[in-house]
């Protein structure tokens, strides 16, 4: 009886610790981040501003996303890219170019190529596994980003084959949004950085509205991603996630 009472008190105490200002475990923070980042369906109109070595280019696209596995993107601007489509189904990625009327599977070394000249690679785009499944996390302190209190998480890949061997995340304590990120190679070399400039509230969720993604090994000022509109839990026609539909 006495033992049961002690166990019950311990459980209540553990449940109350976060509310009392105690730091939750790194794993639980990462799970919250995953839950926040992978909703059901969404339709996004976005703008990508690529700051290259010489000049900057703006690319507009509309994406239909279902979970982490399915995504269809159609490029709207500039004219040269207009009509280019991309379809991601699980670990497969295809691109359709209207000028050639060809659907090409992007795989192997092509995955390391840049998406539309941006700092984002197809490999980055293909990343669909939850962070908590791919990385072991430990807390690395606290800091403020965008005047928001954040936990710093140090992630280490659980197994070989992850795109990045290690990551460092700055996670908003309240909204569980990643506000800053650094991605590292196995050697410890910094490869890419992400910096959220502003966030917005849409469909009852907080999402990064404006972020800068930078390939550190590449010259230029990085690539800005701006979400123009975002609609959650939208109904997405099934044909959009059909490879044959790319040519339509």
Partner 1 sequence: MIRFLLKGVLRDRGRSLFPVMTVAVGVFLTVALFCYMKGIEVGMTRYTANQQTGHLKVMTRAYARDADLFPNDAALIDVDALMASLGREVPGFGWVARIRFGGLLDVPDANGETRAQSPVGGIAADLLTPGSGELVRLDLARGLKRGTLPSRPSEILISEDFSRSLGIGPGDKVTLISSSMQGAMTLTNFVVSGTVRFGFQALDRMGAVADLSGIRAALDMQGAAGEVLGFFQGGVFDRKGAGAAAKAFNSARADRQGDFEPTMLTLADQSGLGWYLDYMDKAGAILIAIFLVPMSLVLWNAGLLGSLRRYGEFGVRLAIGENKGHVYRTLLGESMIIGVLGTLIGTALGLAVSYRLQSKGINLESLFRNAAIMIPPRIHSRVTPFGYVIGFIPGLLATFIGTAIAGRGIYKRQTASLFKELES
Residues contributing to the site for partner 1 (CB under 8 A): 50, 52-54, 57, 80-81, 95, 97, 99-105, 110, 113-118, 219, 247
C-beta closer to partner 1: residue 160 or 219: 219
- The minimum distance between CB 15 and partner 1, in angstroms, equals 50
* Centroid of chain to Cα 47: 16
Q: Which is nearer to partner 1, 83 or 149 (CB)?
A: 83
Buried b (16+ CB within 10 A) or exposed e, 37-58: bebeebbbebbbbbbeeeeebe
Nearer to partner 1, 9 or 77 (CB): 77
Residue 117 Cβ vs partner 1, minimum distance, rounded to whole Å: 3
What gap in Å lies between CA 31 and CA 132, rounded to an integer? Answer: 6
Give ∠ CA 155-156-161 in degrees, rounded to 5: 125
In angstroms, the CA 243 to CA 47 distance is: 24
Provide CB contacts within 8 A for 100, sequence distance 6+: none
CB of 234 to partner 1, least distance (A): 28
Q: Which is nearer to partner 1, 25 or 82 (CB)?
A: 82
> CB 161 → partner 1: shortest distance, Å?
23
Evaluate whether 242 touches 54 at the Cβ level (below 8 Å): no
Nearer to partner 1, 100 or 187 (CB): 100
Q: What is the C-alpha to C-alpha distance for residues 31 and 217, in angstroms, rounded to an integer? A: 30
DSSP 83: T
Nearer to partner 1, 99 or 187 (CB): 99
Residue 20 vs 244, nearer CB to partner 1 = 244
d(C-alpha 71, C-alpha 94), whole Å: 11
Q: In the complex, what is the shortest distance from the CB of residue 226 to partner 1, in angstroms, rounded to a whole number?
A: 18
Least distance between partner 1 and beta carbon 244 (Å): 10
CB of 59 to partner 1, least distance (A): 8
Residue 158 near residue 136, CB atoms below 8 Å? yes
Q: How far apart are CA 78 and CA 66, in angstroms?
A: 26
């Amino acid at each position: 009886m006495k033992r049961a009472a002690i166990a019950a008190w311990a459980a209540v105490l553990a449940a109350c610790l976060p509310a009392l200002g105690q730091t939750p475990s790194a794993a639980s923070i990462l799970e919250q981040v995953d839950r926040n980042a992978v909703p059901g369906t969404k339709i996004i109109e976005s703008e990508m501003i690529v700051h290259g070595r010489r000049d900057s280019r703006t690319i507009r696209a509309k994406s239909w996303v279902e979970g982490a596995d399915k995504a269809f993107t159609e490029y709207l601007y500039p004219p040269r890219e207009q009509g280019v489509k991309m379809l991601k189904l699980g670990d497969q990625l295809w691109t359709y170019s209207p000028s050639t009327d060809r659907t090409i599977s992007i795989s192997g070394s092509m995955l390391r190529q840049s998406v539309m000249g941006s700092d984002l690679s197809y490999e980055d785009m293909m990343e669909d596994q939850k962070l908590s499944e791919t990385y072991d996390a430990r807390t690395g302190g606290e800091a403020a980003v965008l005047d928001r209190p954040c936990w710093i998480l140090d992630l280490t890949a659980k197994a070989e084959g992850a795109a990045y061997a290690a990551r460092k995340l700055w996670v908003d304590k309240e909204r569980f949004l990643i506000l800053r990120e650094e991605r590292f190679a196995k050697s410890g070399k910094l490869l890419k950085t992400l910096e959220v400039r502003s966030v917005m509230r849409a469909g009852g969720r907080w999402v990064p509205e404006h972020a800068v993604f930078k390939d550190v090994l590449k010259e230029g000022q990085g690539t800005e991603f701006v979400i123009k509109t975002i609609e959650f839990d939208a109904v997405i026609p099934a044909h959009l996630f059909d490879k044959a539909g790319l040519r339509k």
